[in-house]
Structure 1
Amino acid sequence: MPKFDVVVMGSINLDVKVLLAKYPEYGHTTTAQTIDLIPGGKGANQAIACAKLGAQTAFIGAVGLDSAGKQMLKNLEDHQIDTQYIQQSWTTGTGTFVVMVDAAGENTMVGMLGANADLDVSKVEATLANVNAPIFLLQMETSQPSVLTALKQAKQAGMFVILDPAPADNYFEEALQYADCVTPNEQETERITGIKVTTVAQAKEAAQIIAAKGVANVIVKLGRAGSVVYRNGVSTVIAPYKVHAVDTVGAGDTFAGALAVEYGRTGDFLAAVEFANKAAALKVSRAGGQAAMPTRKEVLTAKLSK
C-alpha cells in the first residue's frame, strides 16, 4: 500500500486571473492591468502547498480530457505530486474560474466546476482503500457524494481529517460528523452557524457552536485579525503576522496545506496553526498563485512580526 504524508482531494481548475485597480461598478466596463492563465482550484492549490512544504502528497480529483486538463496534470507532476488517482473525464471539461484581484489584494471569483463535479465515488473509494497517510485534507469543491464518501472512508481508515468548508455555497452539515478539524473563514463560519463574524468574541462563540456539531478541533480564520482555535473546551487566539497584502489568492489554501503538513509532522496542533498562519502571511505578501506559495525553508527562516 503506497504511503504518503498527506492525501488531498479537491478541485483542479485553470484560472483566468484578472488584476484590476478597482472592481467595476455594476454594468460598467474597465480595463485590466494584467490577465493571466494560471493553475488553480482549491484542491490543487492545497496539494501544491503541501508539496512545497516538503510533504509526500497524493491527489484525488478530476480533469477533462482537454488541453487544460493536460496542463494541470503536468503542473501537479512538476511539483512531485502523485497524480495516478486523478480521474480524466471524456464528457466534461476541466474546471475554469475567473479570479479578479483589486489593488488591495482582495479577490472575487466566478466559474464552473466542470469535471470536478463529476468526480466518481467509486474512484474515491478505491483510492482511499489503497493509500496510507496520517492526514487527509479536502474541501467542498467537488460533488457532494464524493465529499461525503471521502470523509467517511478517511475517517474509517483512521486518518486525521481536515475539512476546509469552502466554498460556503457547497457546505452541508453532515460533513462535520466525519471531520477531525474544520477551518472556516468568516463567510463560511456564518454559513455554518448563522453568526456574522466581525470580532474575536463572535469567532469564539461561533467556534463553540461548530464544535457542538461534532468537530473536535475548530479554527475560525479571521484574515488580518488572525485565527481563533477552539479545542478541548478552550479558545486560543492566534495573532496574525503583519505583512503588506499584495494578493490574497491562495492564502486560505496555503493555510490548509501548511496546517496539514505541520500537524502531520509534529502532532502539535497549536504550533501547526502558528506555522500555517505564517505560511499564509508570506503568501499574501507576494503576487501570484501557486508559484507564490512558500517553501518550508522560507516559512522557517522568514522574519515576520506580530
Structure 2
Amino acid sequence: MKYDVAVLGSINLDVKALVLNYPERGQTALAKRINMLPGGKGSNQAVAAAKLGGKVAMVGMVGADGAGKQLLDDMNSWGVDTQFVKQSSDEGTGTFIVQIDQTSENTMVGTLGANAALQGDQVVRSLSEIEAPVLLMQLETSRDSVMAALRTGREKGMYIILDPAPADGFFEESLTYADCVTPNQQETERITGIKVTNKVEAIKAAKAIHHMGPSTVIVKLGSEGSVVLHEDDIYEIDSVKVKAVDSVCAGDVFAGALAVHYSQHGNFLDAVNFANKAAAIKVSKIGNHDAFPVLADMA
C-alpha cells in the first residue's frame, strides 16, 4: 500500500498535569488541571503528519486494554492508518505522567509498556506491505524494532528521518542508517558530549554527528531556531516567534511536519521552515493532538 510517510514509534497515554511550579522532593503540589490524552512520540508524529495532509501508516504496539483502544481510535480519527499497530496480550499500553509548569516547560516519567515488546520481525512484516518515500522514527520502542526498521528502510530505499529521542534511548549504531537526524539540545549533548547553548556550538555538534553517518543533521534550539547541516552546507534557521503556553509535543509536530512536507515536495530547507512554523503553532496552544496544526493554519 502506498503512503507519504511510514512512522515507527511509541503509542502512549499521557496523564498531563498543569502546575504552577514543580513540587520539591517529598512535597505535594495541586495541579490547575489534569487531563488524560493520547501521546507517545510515534503517535504524535503520525498524527502531526496526517493533519498536515499526509497519508500516514503507523507501525507500533499497544496493550490489549482500554487505553490501547482509546489511542487507536484517536489515531484513526485523524486519518492515520493503524492496521500495522499490533496489540500485546502480555504488556499494557505505554503510559507517561507529564508535568507542565507556568513557563510551559515539561518533565515526564512513565513506562514504555507494550512499546518495548515490539519485535523486529513484526516491524519487517509491516514495512514489507508499506510503500512510502519517507520513514520517520524515534528510539522509544525496543532496540530490536528500531534496528529492524532502520535496516528494512535502508533496503527499501526509504529516506530515513530519525528523531533520536528520548536521549536515554540513544545508541550510536542507529546513526549509521539514518539519512537525517533531528536532536534537540539535550539529545545533541547525549550524542556528542557537546553542551549546546548557542548556534556556534550547535554547528560544531552538527558536524560531529554528520561524521557518525547521517548526511543531514538538524540541531533544534527551541526558541533560538535551529542549525541545519545539509549537503555539506550549514544553514541557520530562525524560529517563528509566538507566545508559548505548552511545549509538549512541539518536537513531534516538527518531525511530522518535516517528514510529510519533504515527502510531498522534495525541498529539504522548505520542509525545515514548514516544520518550524508547525511547531510554533503547536506551542501557542494547550493540548495534544487537537492542538496540532492543519494545512489551513500554515497559510
Q: Spell out the pairing of 1:259-298 with structure 2 (5 A cutoff).
A: 259-298=258-297
Match for residue 59 of structure 1?
58
Which residue type is aligned with residue 220 of structure 1? V
| 1:255 corresponds to 2:265 | no
Match for residue 215 of structure 2?
216
> TM-score, normalising length from structure 1?
0.97
Match for residue 85 of structure 1?
84
SS in 2 for 1:109: strand
Q: Spell out the pairing of 1:36-47 with structure 2 (5 A cutoff).
A: 36-47=35-46
Residue 289 of structure 1 deviates from its aligned partner by 1.1
SS in 1 for 2:30: coil
| 1:73 corresponds to 2:72 | yes
Residue 7 of structure 1 deviates from its aligned partner by 0.4
Distance 1:128 1:268 in 2: 25
Distance 1:84 1:165 in 2: 25
RMSD: 0.6
Match for residue 303 of structure 1?
none
Q: Which ranges of structure 1 fall in alignment gaps of 5 or more residues?
A: 301-306
SS in 2 for 1:31: coil
Distance 1:268 1:68 in 2: 38
Residue 267 of structure 1 deviates from its aligned partner by 0.8
Residue 66 of structure 1 deviates from its aligned partner by 0.5
Match for residue 155 of structure 2?
156
Match for residue 124 of structure 1?
123
Q: Spell out the pairing of 1:188-227 with structure 2 (5 A cutoff).
A: 188-227=187-226
Residue 232 of structure 1 deviates from its aligned partner by 2.1
| 1:108 corresponds to 2:107 | yes
Distance 2:110 2:26 in 1: 19
Q: Which ranges of structure 2 fall in alignment gaps of 5 or more residues?
A: none
Post-superposition CA distance 1:127-155 (Å, at most 9, x none): 11121000100000000110011011011
Moved more, 248-257 or 24-33: 24-33
Distance 1:3 1:146 in 2: 22
Distance 1:34 1:107 in 2: 14
Which residue type is aligned with residue 236 of structure 1? Y
Distance 1:162 1:127 in 2: 18
Distance 1:232 1:264 in 2: 17
Distance 2:7 2:76 in 1: 14
Residue 272 of structure 1 deviates from its aligned partner by 0.4
Contact 2:19 2:30 in 1 (8 A): yes
Residue 297 of structure 1 deviates from its aligned partner by 1.5
Post-superposition CA distance 1:13-37 (Å, at most 9, x none): 1110000011112221111100110
| 1:25 corresponds to 2:24 | yes
Distance 1:130 1:148 in 2: 18
Distance 1:163 1:35 in 2: 31
Post-superposition CA distance 1:66-99 (Å, at most 9, x none): 0001111111111121111011000000000000
Contact 2:120 2:147 in 1 (8 A): no
SS in 2 for 1:279: helix
SS in 1 for 2:214: coil
Count of residue correspondences: 299
Percent identity of equivalent pairs: 55
Which residue type is aligned with residue 15 of structure 1? D
Distance 1:34 1:187 in 2: 28
Match for residue 7 of structure 1?
6
Post-superposition CA distance 1:78-124 (Å, at most 9, x none): 11211110110000000000000011111100000000000121110
Match for residue 177 of structure 1?
176
Residue 225 of structure 1 deviates from its aligned partner by 0.3
Which residue type is aligned with residue 29 of structure 2? T
SS in 2 for 1:122: helix
Distance 1:180 1:247 in 2: 30
Distance 1:84 1:242 in 2: 38
Which residue type is aligned with residue 133 of structure 1? A
Which residue type is aligned with residue 285 of structure 1? S
SS in 1 for 2:37: strand
Which residue type is aligned with residue 285 of structure 2? R
